[in-house]
Amino acid sequence: MTENRRQWTWLLVLLSAILLFSSCKSYQMATNGYAIKGDEYFVNIDKELSVFLGDDILLDGNWSAGRRPINVSKVDAKFGKILKYLHYSDTAYKVLFTGHLKGRYGYDMLAVINNYPNVKGQRNHLLDLTSFQREEHPEGRYFYRIDEFKGQKVLHFVLPFDDRLWHEKMVSLIFLLPANFNDLDWAKDIVLSNVSMYRDSYKFNPTRTEILCPDDGSRSHLDYKIPEDKINRTGYMLMKAYGNVNGKRTLVVYRLMQPNDFYGSFVACKGNYEILYTTLQDKIVWQTKVNTEEDIVF
């Protein structure tokens, strides 16, 4: 091999390595996110943020055979291509979740949040909203536009969580639907629920309490305690309580548990309950069944 050819060979190898490295760049997930069967919200602990997902997430068909409709582990290449097409920087934004839901429509849904606001004196890195339509409602304000990508209709909403100059925090909700989709009000209802939640008095409160009986002696106070050898000392966990409501297993309470948390209490209708102590990814670490009419020994 001549010296010239050797140099060209090394140059080609170097270029291939650069291209491979570039292609490996990808969008990152925001850590410590979760969705629970029976609750309408996605929660991210690190961002101190909830996202209302709509009623479809409650349908059993979206959780059948152990299938979890909301993904918080990795951004698939399909969603990465969509975010690139929509001009999201993979360094300025993180993905909160991706998912596929079935209900009135079958659709993909993803949410994105910026890592930091624009910086004074530097080039803006956040999404340019000049091509978006702006809508004002009593519930709040949002921006949206409609695109198409590889045969799908893309409904793209940007919701200001904090729109003060140099403090910008934006949540984007993106819906991927069939090309002939035309029910924009359906998506806007989900968006408006979030806009309303993010208004001035928003407080991060990752809990659920569903009391479906009157306060006339029909309620009971229930304590729970996680066994010593099951307590997670380093990571977040979830306590969930399921009961029978109108003949259906229903989530009535859940609590986010900090590292080392092991006990708590809640008010519920009298009856039988199944208590689960799980990871954010729904792995059961401990469970028990209790009846509110009996003395409970943990």
What does the pLDDT look like over 64-73, one tens digit per residue? 877 799 999 9
- Cα separation of 234 and 226, whole Å? 15
- Cα separation of 254 and 252, whole Å? 7
Token reading at 1: 């091999």
pLDDT of residue 3: 60
Question: What proportion of the chain, given as a percentage, has pLDDT over 70?
Answer: 90
Residue 109: count of CB within 10 angstroms of its CB:
25
In this structure, CATH architecture of domain 207-291:
Sandwich (2.60)
At residue 12, the 3 state secondary structure works out as helix
Contact in structure between 92 and 128 (CB atoms under 8 Å)? no
* Amino acid letter, 258: Q
Token reading at 42: 């996605």
pLDDT of residue 154: 98
- 204 vs 163, residue with greater confidence: 204
pLDDT tens across 176-202, in order? 999 999 999 999 999 999 999 998 778
Maximum CA extent, the chain: 94
pLDDT of 23 strictly over 50: no
Q: Domain map of the chain by residue range?
A: 26-197, 207-291
Phi, psi of 66 (to 5 degrees): 75, 5
pLDDT band at 166 (very low <50, low <70, confident <90, very high): confident
End-to-end Cα separation, the chain, in angstroms: 77
Q: Which residues pair with 238 in a beta bridge?
A: 256, 278
Lowest mean per-residue pLDDT among 90-104, 136-150, 215-229: 215-229
pLDDT of residue 11: 61
pTM for this entry: 0.88
Contact in structure between 176 and 108 (CB atoms under 8 Å)? yes
pLDDT of residue 6: 63
pLDDT of residue 54: 96
Q: Is 65 left (phi over 0), alpha (psi -120 to 50) or beta?
A: left
pLDDT band at 10 (very low <50, low <70, confident <90, very high): low
Contact in structure between 144 and 133 (CB atoms under 8 Å)? yes
Taking only Cα atoms into account, the Rg of the chain, rounded to an integer number of angstroms, comes to: 23
- Cα separation of 101 and 116, whole Å? 30
Burial letters 23-40, b for 16+ CB under 10 A, else e: eeebbebbeebbbbbbbb
Q: Which residues pair with 276 in a beta bridge?
A: 240, 287
Contact in structure between 271 and 291 (CB atoms under 8 Å)? yes
83 Cβ contact list (under 8 Å, min separation 6): 27, 75, 90, 93, 95, 110, 112
Return mean pLDDT, the chain: 90
